[in-house]
Chains A and B, each alone.
Chain A
Amino acid sequence: NAGVTQTPKFQVLKTGQSMTLQCAQDMNHEYMSWYRQDPGMGLRLIHYSVGAGITDQGEVPNGYNVSRSTTEDFPLRLLSAAPSQTSVYFCASSRPKGGLFFGEGSRLTVL
């Protein structure tokens, strides 16, 4: 079982560039979400989805877009990268009433 797979693991961007962080899960989980982790801040929810075709904003959605065309995939798009988006990004999936399964993270640096 691969679980939750995130790509890329590391990325360096210049301010203003766009990119997509990929997330795929093979557990047939309905729920998927994106979090960012900054030092001393814990994890903060960016966007989440309760099923294919359904997405909603979390605590810190500005500057990010998501879509959920399939149950398996939940990509996170950075529209115009800013230094404040330098962070570690985690994708997670779950069943409606269970704990979250996390990917290994994508470490993004914006110069």
Chain B
Amino acid sequence: SQQGEEDPQALSIQEGENATMNCSYKTSINNLQWYRQNSGRGLVHLILIRSNEREKHSGRLRVTLDTSKKSSSLLITASRAADTASYFCATARSYNTDKLIFGTGTRLQVFP
């Protein structure tokens, strides 16, 4: 069974706009991670946020985590056509990331 569910399933925006994707999960976690997958390629790790953190930034990415609501959001600011990809959240129940449970993903399309 999937631990994470992303919302929306698909998102289309224009270049320069911000894109927000949400992830909800079911059980307690140690950390939550976001990955990007370009069409036909492997996943690329974007950012990891631990359960005792509320917000984290990396370049144009901003991730928030609300453990009381069991939810996280990924914000991509000033999006570019190159950001077109699928984005997945993944949760780890232990401090070690040996077993990640992935969500079903959000497909982001950024139009130039």
Chain A residues packing against B (C-beta within 8 Å) = 4, 31, 33, 35, 40-45, 48, 50, 58-59, 90, 92, 94, 96-105
Contacts and interface: CB of A to CB of B under 8 A. Distances in A.
Given A42-B102, A44-B102, A102 B42 contact: yes
A58 B101 CA distance: 10
Nearest to B92: A97
A42 B33 contact: no
Interface stretch (B13-21, B43-51, B75-83): B43-51
Contacts, number: 71
Contacts of B101: 45, 59
A31 B41 contact: no
B81 to A, nearest CB: 22
Contacts of B2: 41-42
A96 B102 CA distance: 17
Given A42-B103, A44-B102, A90 B88 contact: no
Contacts of B48: 98-99
Given A90-B43, A104-B42, A42 B105 contact: yes
B97 A94 contact: yes
Contacts of B102: 35, 42-44
A100 B100 contact: yes
